[in-house]
Structure 1
């Protein structure tokens, strides 16, 4: 039985279905769909040199990798690779071949420092360390039973603040771009992010197929968005928070709780039963907010780093 690694073929249904199946088997805390896989292939900016790879054994997709450069970081030469193998087909060489192909691609495009998320389990961590990666920070996947958990009562906005949705900005989302740029720049992480390209943000984030603009809650003060909780949904039962953040000059007013509580209540009313999110382990304030809602940590990932040459 021979394992080969190649690019995912966007026109091949078996490739897309195999990619999604493997990801959900290996990483059930993150939702993928045919639309989201094709979205990343088509709309990730060219500067990222993004590739989606599959490992194939006997005509079946058994492993996946997403690979790219951190194009929205002010520090050049940073690349990332996230490799996942079907747990039922592990230890047959697929992971090693995917890592090798990913590293070669990134090195060819000038990457000198590579980052990879690895599940915090002995086998996964040992695999990363055998390939020359060292452990860095960690992040948690959290889940809330939205159907049976009693949410905090809906909150009244403080004086001078009103609640709106992302759908209210459909004609001109630039104010949300400005909000996203500031809040993301303060997120803890190994790779600093700067959103400076509005059109790239529109393509990659505003047009993401899972973005639910109606359930994305926005706090507006002095005529501008100052906090938001970004909602991604599967159109059925699963609701996820992509980002919750507040601009610096409005922090300490409880606006993160306000917008997230508003979004969660409306998501439950719309029939969503599972709420997912993730937090960097060093993001104490947001972890405290999520514990207040009743989220529980279900798994942890560790960021691994490798310097090239």
Structure 2
């Protein structure tokens, strides 16, 4: 077994995507998304990838990085994969990963893995524990009837989109950022959410090629933004991915979140998409209940795993 670092060449990007999609076909990656990820690393963030080769051919990889969606201090996120038939290399791969990680002295390792994948048992056998679950759910728009859910909005509320605004301007982006971060702070989850600074959010979100301004639906009261439901492009065929959906506490229980979701689903159908996917923390019962009522069907849960490490200080 030979280990070599990812060299950021076109060939290595293509190799990484090809391996990842072969091992995890239900979580497809694209070259564009991977390049965007590397181009938007924050100050001091870590991201390293290594290929596993056998007989001169890449048969797997491992990687570790500062967690992108919740970059808590001292934590590194890990991932790995091996092509079918090369599972006996798992122990050697993990040993190599631990040696590379040791140079960074992390306080904890985190990872995300589907509950029905063999990697879940592999991680747990090495001291990882479940600290959160997320439920991926899919709505088949061909079988969805919105009529039973239609309700009149409060007279003071209107729904528009990010595309209706001068969303390239910093002033609009800062208003939108204020709404998004206020809602993210309030999303029920097992760990406190660490928010991206505005400039990093600009690079990662507003310049993401998967952003669809026309599918970022915003609830307004006057000029104030009070709620949002986002749809993003997805590498899955005929599918849009739900991003953040939420309403400020001051405007809840007025049917606004439901109206935003319905507007987003109608957009997806009008654009010819067949499916809309979403992900919800298991503790986020209000949004889980709303999605279940709309007809979203759950898939196997994604486990969020964590292993605490004890780093001895040098004397």
- Alpha-carbon distance between aligned partners in 2 of 1:207 and 1:147, rounded to the nearest angstrom: 31
1:127-162, Cα deviation, whole Å (9 max, x unpaired):
012222122221111111123433346654322111
- Alpha-carbon distance between aligned partners in 2 of 1:222 and 1:79, rounded to the nearest angstrom: 43
TM-score (norm 2): 0.84
Give the counterpart of 1:40 among 37, 40, 54: 37
Matches within 5 A, 1:53-202: 53-58=50-55, 60-70=57-67, 75-86=72-83, 88-89=84-85, 91-94=87-90, 97=93, 99-100=94-95, 102-121=97-116, 123-152=118-147, 156-167=152-163, 168=165, 169-171=167-169, 172-195=172-195, 197-202=197-202
TM-score (norm 1): 0.86
- Alpha-carbon distance between aligned partners in 2 of 1:297 and 1:143, rounded to the nearest angstrom: 7
2:6 corresponds to: 8
- The higher radius of gyration belongs to 2
Larger CA deviation: 248-257 vs 259-268: 248-257
Change (3 A) 1:186 1:107: farther
The DSSP-based 3-state class of the residue aligned with 2:304 is strand
Superposed displacement of residue 112, structure 1: 0.2
The DSSP-based 3-state class of the residue aligned with 1:289 is helix
Change (3 A) 1:31 1:303: same
- Is 1:20–1:34's contact at 8 Å kept on the other side of the alignment? yes
Superposed displacement of residue 246, structure 1: 1.8
- Is 1:62–1:89's contact at 8 Å kept on the other side of the alignment? no
- Is 2:107–2:309's contact at 8 Å kept on the other side of the alignment? yes
- Is 2:232–2:241's contact at 8 Å kept on the other side of the alignment? yes
- Is 2:238–2:274's contact at 8 Å kept on the other side of the alignment? yes
Structure 2 unpaired stretches of 5+: 311-315
Larger CA deviation: 159-168 vs 56-65: 56-65
1:220 corresponds to: 220
1:240 corresponds to: 241
Q: CA RMSD in A?
A: 2.7
1:45-92, Cα deviation, whole Å (9 max, x unpaired):
133212344444455554344532247868521222233444x24513
2:313 corresponds to: none
2:207 corresponds to: 207
Structure 1 unpaired stretches of 5+: none
- Alpha-carbon distance between aligned partners in 2 of 1:26 and 1:155, rounded to the nearest angstrom: 44
The DSSP-based 3-state class of the residue aligned with 2:257 is helix
- Is 1:69–1:106's contact at 8 Å kept on the other side of the alignment? no
1:260-285, Cα deviation, whole Å (9 max, x unpaired):
21111111101111211111111111
Larger CA deviation: 239-248 vs 183-192: 183-192
- Alpha-carbon distance between aligned partners in 2 of 1:38 and 1:125, rounded to the nearest angstrom: 27
Change (3 A) 1:234 1:141: closer
Change (3 A) 1:234 1:131: same
Superposed displacement of residue 295, structure 1: 0.8
- Is 1:157–1:163's contact at 8 Å kept on the other side of the alignment? no
